[in-house]
């Protein structure tokens, strides 16, 4: 994997709901707004990310709240998540956990990693290789087809 | 008092567009139906059918993270029922200490099945739940309503 100094920090710009399919799109952007990385995720994961972004506290903990809860109870912190690779349109990511100076890395889907990152308020990084290979044109095509209503109404 | 429960199956509830996890206390033949959402139902169904998805799903990630932290799931308990909402607890052993984490039953069951931890229900929950409701519901079911979750 690339060294930390070549990693590009990204922020979650928003989550779009695709009204035609059972998917949502997490839009990540860099600080200069020059790079966009769209990642297609499932409804449950997209909803989970959106709830955390909007600071909605559900009456009962959602799955990612539970992960955040046991991670912090056990004294671990999430240092960062890195979107490391894209293979056959599937993105891969790594969650970096730390306790007492000992770091552990855990393989995960980006949707879970991002849902955890927005709860832990830890940085999100992407490797330059992933940005080079992303499907940015797909998002443009998709966005142009999307009406305004669909981008705002959550499905669930 | 705690009763150990087995996951007997997963039903689709077409009226509420939700799924029902059926827990059963084999010793006393008590049934405990718990309504869960689609993604939690599919997480439970994958574990019941021992399907390993190509990428870790959310509850697989929970197990992987707990393994990485050297934390062990001792048990899960369906602990309370208030206003039709079930509450659960996940008991973790970490170092020499036990930690109790508040959770929804669906997450607790999905984690228990992956970590082979026992699932308990408190006697209180079993008394409070109205099994007549499930029986009425079951009577209205058609054979085609039984099946695997549609993931």
Domain span including residue A30 = 4-146
| Residue A53: both structure tokens together | 């972004």
Please determine, for residue B12, whether its predicted confidence score (pLDDT) is greater than 70: yes
DSSP-assigned letters across all residues of A79-96: EEEEEEEEETTEEEEEEE
Radius of gyration, alpha carbons of chain A: 16
Q: What is the mean pLDDT of residues A40-67?
A: 95
In terms of pLDDT, which residue wins out, A139 or B121? B121
Pairing of the two strands A90-99 and A102-108? antiparallel
| Residue A79: both structure tokens together | 């240092």
A153 falls within a domain: no
pTM, two decimals, is 0.86
Inter-chain contact B103–A95, Cβ cutoff 8 Å? no
- Structure letter (DSSP) for residue A141: H
Q: Give me the CATH number covering residue A53.
A: 3.10.690.10
Please determine, for residue A2, whether its predicted confidence score (pLDDT) is greater than 50: no
Are B67 and B60 spatial neighbours (Cβ–Cβ below 8 Å)?
no
What kind and span of H or E run contains B74?
strand B71-82
Inter-chain contact B101–A70, Cβ cutoff 8 Å? yes
Fold entry, domain B2-142: Bifunctional nuclease domain (3.10.690)
Pairing of the two strands A77-87 and A102-108? unpaired
Inter-chain contact A43–B39, Cβ cutoff 8 Å? yes
- The answer to whether B69 contacts chain A (CB < 8 Å) is yes
Please state the φ and ψ torsions of residue A97, each to the nearest 5 degrees: -100, 150
Give residue-wise pLDDT tens across range A39-48. 999 999 999 9
**Rounded alpha-carbon distances, angstroms, from residue B109 to A9, B40, B59, B60:** 36, 9, 10, 12
Are A18 and A151 spatial neighbours (Cβ–Cβ below 8 Å)?
no
Q: Which A positions 94-153 lie with beta carbon below 8 A of chain B? A: 95, 97, 99, 104, 106-109, 112
Q: Roughly what angle, to the nearest 10 degrees, separates helices B38-48 and B58-68?
A: 60
- Residue in A closest to B36 by C-alpha: A62
Mean pLDDT score of chain B, rounded to an integer?
Answer: 89
Domain boundaries, chain B: 2-142
The per-residue pLDDT for A94 is 98
Count of the separate structural domains present in chain A = 1
A76 falls within a domain: yes
| Residue B31: both structure tokens together | 């049934």
Inter-chain contact B62–A108, Cβ cutoff 8 Å? no
Round to whole Å and give the CA distance between A144 and A68: 36
- The answer to whether B17 contacts chain A (CB < 8 Å) is no
Are A23 and A89 spatial neighbours (Cβ–Cβ below 8 Å)?
no
A155 falls within a domain: no
Inter-chain contact B37–A45, Cβ cutoff 8 Å? no
Residue A154 CB contacts under 8 Å (≥ 6 apart), including other chains: A17, A47, A50
Please determine, for residue B63, whether its predicted confidence score (pLDDT) is greater than 90: yes
A151 falls within a domain: no
Give residue-wise pLDDT tens across range B83-124. 888 999 999 999 999 999 999 999 999 999 999 999 999 988
Inter-chain contact B58–A60, Cβ cutoff 8 Å? no
Are A62 and A46 spatial neighbours (Cβ–Cβ below 8 Å)?
no
A140 falls within a domain: yes
DSSP-assigned letters across all residues of A87-126: ETTEEEEEEEEEETTEEEEEEE-HHHHHHHHHHHT--EEE
Q: What is the mean pLDDT of residues A60-67?
A: 97
A86 falls within a domain: yes
Q: Which of B2, B1, B40, B3 is CA-nearest to residue B21?
A: B40
A77 falls within a domain: yes
- The answer to whether B15 contacts chain A (CB < 8 Å) is no
Averaging pLDDT over each range in A13-22, A28-37, A41-50, B25-34, which range is the top one?
A41-50
- Structure letter (DSSP) for residue B55: S
A14 falls within a domain: yes
Please determine, for residue B3, whether its predicted confidence score (pLDDT) is greater than 70: yes
């Amino acid at each position: 994997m690339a060294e930390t100094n070549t990693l590009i920090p990204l922020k979650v710009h928003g989550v779009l709901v695709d009204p035609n399919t059972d998917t949502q799109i997490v839009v990540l952007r860099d600080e200069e707004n020059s790079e966009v990385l769209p990642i297609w995720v499932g409804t449950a994961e997209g909803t989970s990310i959106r709830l955390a972004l909007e600071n909605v506290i559900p009456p009962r903990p959602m799955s990612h709240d539970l992960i955040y809860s046991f991670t912090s109870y056990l004294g671990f912190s999430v240092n960062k998540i890195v979107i490391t690779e894209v293979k056959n349109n599937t993105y891969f990511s790594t969650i970096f956990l730390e306790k007492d100076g000992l770091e552990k890395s855990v393989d995960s889907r980006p949707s879970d990693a991002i849902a955890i990152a927005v709860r832990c308020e830890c940085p999100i990084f992407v490797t330059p290789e992933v940005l080079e290979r992303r499907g940015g044109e797909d998002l443009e095509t998709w966005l142009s087809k999307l009406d305004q209503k669909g981008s705002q109404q959550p499905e669930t | 008092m705690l009763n150990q429960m087995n996951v007997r199956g997963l039903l689709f509830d077409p009226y509420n567009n939700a799924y029902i996890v059926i827990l059963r206390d084999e010793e006393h033949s008590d049934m405990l139906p718990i309504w869960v959402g689609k993604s939690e139902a599919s997480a439970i169904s994958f574990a019941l059918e021992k399907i390993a998805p190509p990428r870790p799903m959310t509850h697989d990630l929970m197990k992987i993270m707990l393994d990485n932290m050297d934390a062990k799931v001792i048990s899960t308990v369906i602990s309370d029922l208030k206003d039709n909402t079930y509450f659960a607890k996940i008991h973790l052993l970490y170092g020499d200490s036990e930690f109790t984490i508040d959770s929804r039953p669906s997450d607790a069951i999905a984690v228990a099945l992956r970590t082979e931890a026992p699932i308990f229900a408190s006697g209180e929950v079993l008394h409070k739940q109205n099994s007549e409701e499930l029986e009425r519901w079951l009577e209205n079911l058609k054979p085609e309503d039984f099946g695997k979750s549609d993931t």
